[in-house]
């Protein structure tokens, strides 16, 4: 059952961390069609976020009544069912996955932060064993998602607009088989339509769990053969600088993370999704992709100006290098 209203409370969070959560929650509320509220005193709490660095061992009374407890800290660990751990700093898509987990009823919780049980997980792993260029019927509990590669579409129930629950689901909740033409037509007429690349991207991004795709090592130079259409993917603002970094030159993942200042797991997830969707190519040696001559490098004052414009527009952090 989908929760349309989620109450959230914080315990001992630093003001900066709380502000980060509230900022992400504001964005998620607009995307997820859920009402996300900070719980008032005495109100039932769906998600209690505990700063485990400040309070490593909360008492039973601290967490009583919360439907889900999230331990948030540098070395956070979960202690049982209905508990999750999140490492600092929280990333947007981790919070997105966490909220999707609130739809899982009383089932044991898992998010992308959990270690994979058997390598890359779930839908992404299943897709690697089938020909996903042919129509597929993906069973997810009692629901169905149908892919239509000929038209570049996939068809899904309305509540699955956020694909995270599907991409995060354990394999025992999923089934995969070829779809008949009749099933594709029926799905096209009765379900919502979305661009197929979005499903593949999200499945690979989430399913990678922060690991690099097969055949790519931390020191393997990679570049984008072409830009992903960020307008149809589940857009995350850090995609733009990552794409820009390897659109004109080949770089290894370690250097991408260093130059962008991003977590290596985010870089790995991005590269996994890029590879799965056919955008990524490895280079035998650092080499520029076939493109027009590069313009002159941006000067330091111009980079400073661009950073200020990005800040003014709320477009995220400047590059580390």
Using CB under 8 A as the criterion, which residues of the chain lie in contact with other proteins when the complex forms?
152, 226-227, 229-232, 235, 237, 240-241, 243-245, 247-248, 289-298, 302-303, 305-316, 318-319
Q: How far is the CB of 299 from other proteins (least distance, A)?
A: 11
Nearer to other proteins (CB atom), residue 47 or residue 245: 245
Residue 285 has φ and ψ, to the nearest 5°, of -140, 155
CB of 273 to other proteins, least distance (A): 16
Residues 58/80, Cβ–Cβ less than 8 Å? no
Nearest distance, CB of residue 17 and other proteins, angstroms = 24
> Sign of dihedral through CA atoms 27, 107, 109, 11?
positive
> Residue 16 burial by CB count (10 A; 0-12/13-18/19+): exposed, middle or buried?
exposed
- C-alpha neighbours within 13 Å on the C-beta side of residue 37: 12
Choose between 284 and 290: whose C-beta lies nearer to other proteins: 290
Give exposure, 280-297, as e/b (b: 16+ Cβ within 10 Å): bbebeeeeeeeeeeeeee
User: In angstroms, what is the minimal distance from the CB of 65 to other proteins?
Assistant: 36
Closest CA to 46 of 13, 3, 109: 3
Report the residue number, 7 or 260, with the smaller CB distance to other proteins: 260
Q: Which is nearer to other proteins, 16 or 312 (CB)?
A: 312
Q: What region does 261 belong to: left with phi over 0, alpha with psi -120 to 50, or beta?
A: left
SS3 assignment, position 294: coil
Would you say 1 or 293 has its CB closer to other proteins? 293
- Whether the CB-CB separation of 193 and 247 falls below 8 Å is answered with no
Q: How far is the CB of 274 from other proteins (least distance, A)?
A: 13
Cβ at position 252, least distance to other proteins in Å? 16
Q: Give 42 or 295: the residue with its C-beta nearer to other proteins.
A: 295
């Amino acid at each position: 059952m989908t929760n349309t209203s989620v109450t959230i409370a914080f315990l001992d969070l630093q003001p900066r961390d709380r502000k980060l959560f509230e900022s992400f929650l504001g964005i998620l509320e607009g995307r997820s069609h859920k009402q996300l509220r900070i719980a008032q005193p005495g109100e039932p709490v769906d998600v209690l976020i505990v700063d485990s660095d400040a309070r490593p061992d909360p008492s039973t009374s601290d967490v009583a009544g919360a439907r889900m407890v999230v331990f948030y800290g540098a070395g956070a660990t979960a202690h049982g069912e209905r508990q999750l751990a999140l490492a600092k700093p929280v990333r947007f898509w981790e919070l997105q996955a966490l909220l999707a987990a609130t739809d899982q009823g009383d089932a044991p919780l898992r998010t992308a932060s959990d270690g994979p049980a058997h390598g890359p997980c779930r839908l992404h792993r299943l897709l690697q064993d089938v020909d996903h260029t042919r129509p597929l019927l993906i069973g997810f509990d009692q629901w169905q998602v149908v892919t239509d590669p000929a038209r570049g579409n996939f068809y899904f129930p309305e509540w699955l607009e956020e694909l995270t629950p599907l991409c995060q689901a354990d394999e025992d909740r999923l089934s995969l088989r070829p779809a008949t033409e009749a099933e594709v037509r029926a799905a096209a007429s009765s379900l919502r339509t979305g661009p197929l690349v979005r499903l593949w991207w999200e499945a690979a991004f989430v399913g990678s769990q922060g690991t690099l795709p097969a055949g790519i090592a931390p020191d393997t130079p990679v570049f984008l053969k072409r830009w992903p259409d960020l307008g149809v993917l589940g857009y995350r603002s850090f995609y733009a600088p990552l794409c820009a970094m390897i659109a004109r030159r080949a770089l290894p993942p370690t250097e991408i993370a260093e130059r962008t200042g991003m977590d290596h797991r985010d870089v790995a997830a991005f590269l996994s999704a890029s590879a799965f969707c056919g955008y990524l190519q490895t280079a035998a040696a650092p080499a520029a992709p076939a493109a027009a001559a590069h313009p002159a490098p941006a000067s330091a004052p111009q980079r400073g100006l661009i950073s200020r414009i990005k800040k003014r527009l709320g477009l995220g952090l400047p590059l580390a290098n």
